[in-house]
Structure 1
């Protein structure tokens, strides 16, 4: 097969890259290689501010992409080899695709705890198949342990019903990937909300069945938990026990016991449960051969420059598999998130199209400021700029306002200028905060009034 552009990966980065290429180059042949027959597509894209977007991620049959774009062909298979000198890839053992430009968007795989090897009682969660297997195993469980403190761990804890949970985290507060101890405390009351006993509305979303024999699917979307009922075997409302500053040192299995899994923690604590969920982050999915050496980061990610180019000619990368190896803007930094995977995929397509047309490409404005929106424990969460004081050392001050079970607002200021913000709940402050971070207006004279609830501050700075 021959194609101008070959994109490897059926996740958000790969699919958005292919779709953007189809927009820029409607006459050119594009091949998208997906290991799964299901791909991840962005729907309901909504701009909250100039740079902040919210969207849903839906599963779709790969045939939908081919029918939507005449110049996109989808090939099912796994990337085995890249020959950068002769410019072709080998998919599975026997499919050869010649390319002019290649973009690698194969994402990342779950980084499981060391004790997970060959242990059927320890599950990693990554794609739809793994979450459905987890739900099936959970039906017979009265007590489980969840290891990890990021987005997926927080969502699982909030969503699970009828199962007691031991939450094992190495930090001193919950959801530390995104928020500070104050916001972690704000979320605490949500762990026992009556949400867990309410009736679920039926899932009316169209479902697709995976073709047999597929090994791996794309990662879960940001709203994956909305479409599943996650219930255990207990008759009572779930109890959540948090083990702070804890890590697992040993796991023993005794199938004859009521709770077959016995966990030992580094602080000497012991937990008996039915199942362990490992949600401790991801690592790059680099499991293919390449004829020349790619420049990789210390975490085994593909290093890319400000045009998403790798160290090899005409090979690009986007999403979780790559590392942004350029001088970052003051208020932006890379993070393994759906929002950045989408941005990188679209931008990589723009850069490849520009290279083909020999056009000058300016770096996308989305890399000027970090923006992310998600939902944690039922609350809308918006993160802007240096939201946890990243890059600032200890030289900054914090303004914050909290109304229990309603909102949590934290502003990061340095030298009187806004550098970052955490907005939890329906605050309607995101546009104002983004603009103040970008224009670096001196707020020294307004400091006392910025979070005064009696002043409509967003209209003042409109």
Structure 2
């Protein structure tokens, strides 16, 4: 057992953890300050090629690298591949599975989230969380004719769009796809691209050369990829770009809306099966679906296992550990958290909401680093970063650029005081604006609209737009004139 003192320790090799560790080295006034990054995976994720689209919207690459490359970088981060089993907040020490003790003055926990599998006992159910499970998915798809995809989030949508030459049954608990990201109108707009040849739909939006490209490494000798390593980093955007998801049949998509999986039968429990497929999925609508395997893309839950021995900290109703406006874990000293593992408990801006997305993981990781350094060097609380003033997210679904701004889905707004204004150009763009008491509170932009900066400014400025009414999105109304 070895003991060493480290001013800053970060747990987690995902975007939040790496962003935090890198920022600690950059902003610390003492360039000799030691920063230790602990990752349960030998592959870590970092952000490169940052492109600022607006004041708050950034696009960037997410690259996968061997953890050893962080040690070789000019930043001088000490990166270790190990499993952390316990944190002792009284002694301010992190204990690894090998018994190593690493002492800290400030600690940031960025352990992310873990998949919520619909049936983690069935060998024919796979959850998509990290590079290992994507590799397994690629292998399974290549020899399959029919699969069931369960879930309605970003991973499920990206997967269904990318699959080729395979029969897909998409089980969705909601009445439309992508309920987390957009309404039924945008869902219908996007679904039209599924009927188009992939090369045609991809040309609707010029391919973004800045998007992520992943290099896959042999992570470990663990042959079980169905159970992701605790603390393993999430995929991030465009995880499917360099993955071959081509089956051995022809592509056909069947939608099962408004239902869930009741039971999964396999092996000796199969009833009435003709033996063509090894799995039978029973849905809440009474249908029985036979398939080769099931993809569980039913969301994630915060990976808070390191806080289990800290009764003084608070676990939010959404499952995350609560942090204050300086990313400090409530109830314990000198421990911070960022990314999917945490829940923001501070008084939030009327235009911001927490979502467990890679964009916010980066923002939280960087801000946590600023807070740790400020508390260490000056003992003062930094002002909440401006990125928490308005929610922004840019991604791509079904070949279209997607920009989400503010309370884009009317989150927590009084619907009696809310008005929606929509403009649709089939095959080109879908624009929805959320007006609350005459002021813009959110927007959904699908396609190359070039409106994100204007709408972001309108949200932040709180300008009264009620006199425009339904003409707000009329092509002859130039909202840019407000900011010339």
> Common fold, TM-score beyond 0.5?
yes
Question: Which residue of structure 1 lines up, in the alignment, with residue 271 of structure 2?
Answer: none
Question: Is residue 342 of structure 2 the alignment partner of residue 339 of structure 1?
Answer: no
Residue correspondences, number: 456
Tell me: CA distance 1:263–1:461, structure 2 relative to 1, closer, same or farther (3 Å): same
Contact 2:131–2:216 (8 Å) recurs in 1: no
The superposition leaves residues 399-440 of structure 1 with CA deviations (integer Å, 9 ceiling, x where unpaired) of 110011110000011221111100000000000000000000
CA distance in 2, matches of 1:208, 1:260: 30
Contact 1:11–1:219 (8 Å) recurs in 2: yes
Question: Which residue of structure 1 lines up, in the alignment, with residue 404 of structure 2?
Answer: 383
Question: Which residue of structure 1 lines up, in the alignment, with residue 142 of structure 2?
Answer: 139
Question: Is residue 262 of structure 2 the alignment partner of residue 249 of structure 1?
Answer: yes
Contact 2:323–2:337 (8 Å) recurs in 1: yes
Q: Any idea what SS the aligned residue of 2:298 has?
A: coil
Q: Any idea what SS the aligned residue of 2:108 has?
A: strand
CA distance in 2, matches of 1:448, 1:109: 43
Question: Which residue of structure 2 lines up, in the alignment, with residue 304 of structure 1?
Answer: 323
CA distance in 1, matches of 2:214, 2:314: 41
TM-score (norm 1): 0.94
Question: Is residue 384 of structure 2 the alignment partner of residue 372 of structure 1?
Answer: no
Question: Which residue of structure 1 lines up, in the alignment, with residue 33 of structure 2?
Answer: 28
Tell me: CA distance 1:354–1:376, structure 2 relative to 1, closer, same or farther (3 Å): same
Question: Is residue 104 of structure 2 the alignment partner of residue 99 of structure 1?
Answer: yes
Question: Which residue of structure 2 lines up, in the alignment, with residue 210 of structure 1?
Answer: 218
Equivalences for 1:265-280 in 2 at 5 Å? 265-280=283-298
Contact 1:80–1:93 (8 Å) recurs in 2: no
How far does residue 253 in structure 1 lie from its aligned partner after superposition?
A: 1.4
Q: Any idea what SS the aligned residue of 2:480 has?
A: helix
CA distance in 2, matches of 1:205, 1:54: 14
Tell me: CA distance 1:213–1:404, structure 2 relative to 1, closer, same or farther (3 Å): same
The superposition leaves residues 312-339 of structure 1 with CA deviations (integer Å, 9 ceiling, x where unpaired) of 0000000000000111111111111111
Question: Which residue of structure 2 lines up, in the alignment, with residue 222 of structure 1?
Answer: 237
Q: Any idea what SS the aligned residue of 2:380 has?
A: coil
Question: Is residue 130 of structure 2 the alignment partner of residue 122 of structure 1?
Answer: no
Among 5, 11, 16, which residue is 1:13 paired with?
Answer: 16
Contact 1:62–1:74 (8 Å) recurs in 2: yes
CA distance in 1, matches of 2:155, 2:128: 8
How far does residue 364 in structure 1 lie from its aligned partner after superposition?
A: 0.2
How far does residue 196 in structure 1 lie from its aligned partner after superposition?
A: 7.2
Question: Which residue of structure 1 lines up, in the alignment, with residue 93 of structure 2?
Answer: 88
The superposition leaves residues 313-372 of structure 1 with CA deviations (integer Å, 9 ceiling, x where unpaired) of 000000000000111111111111111111100000000000001234100001110101
TM-score (norm 2): 0.90
CA distance in 2, matches of 1:267, 1:20: 50
Tell me: CA distance 1:339–1:205, structure 2 relative to 1, closer, same or farther (3 Å): closer
Question: Which residue of structure 1 lines up, in the alignment, with residue 446 of structure 2?
Answer: 424
Contact 2:62–2:213 (8 Å) recurs in 1: no
Tell me: CA distance 1:182–1:198, structure 2 relative to 1, closer, same or farther (3 Å): closer
Contact 1:157–1:191 (8 Å) recurs in 2: no
Among 455, 459, 478, which residue is 1:437 paired with?
Answer: 459
Contact 1:61–1:208 (8 Å) recurs in 2: no
How far does residue 207 in structure 1 lie from its aligned partner after superposition?
A: 2.8
Question: Is residue 79 of structure 2 the alignment partner of residue 74 of structure 1?
Answer: yes
Question: Is residue 341 of structure 2 the alignment partner of residue 321 of structure 1?
Answer: yes
Contact 1:159–1:196 (8 Å) recurs in 2: no
CA distance in 1, matches of 2:59, 2:197: 27
Please, which runs of 5 or more residues in structure 1 have no aligned partner?
A: none
How far does residue 291 in structure 1 lie from its aligned partner after superposition?
A: 5.1
How far does residue 140 in structure 1 lie from its aligned partner after superposition?
A: 1.1
CA distance in 1, matches of 2:288, 2:341: 36
How far does residue 208 in structure 1 lie from its aligned partner after superposition?
A: 4.5
How far does residue 192 in structure 1 lie from its aligned partner after superposition?
A: 2.5
Contact 1:158–1:190 (8 Å) recurs in 2: no
Question: Which residue of structure 2 lines up, in the alignment, with residue 406 of structure 1?
Answer: 428
Mean Cα displacement is larger for which, 341-350 or 86-95? 86-95
Please, which runs of 5 or more residues in structure 2 have no aligned partner?
A: 223-227, 269-273
CA distance in 1, matches of 2:444, 2:413: 16
CA distance in 2, matches of 1:179, 1:285: 26
Tell me: CA distance 1:206–1:51, structure 2 relative to 1, closer, same or farther (3 Å): closer
Contact 1:161–1:197 (8 Å) recurs in 2: no
How far does residue 177 in structure 1 lie from its aligned partner after superposition?
A: 1.1
How far does residue 227 in structure 1 lie from its aligned partner after superposition?
A: 1.5
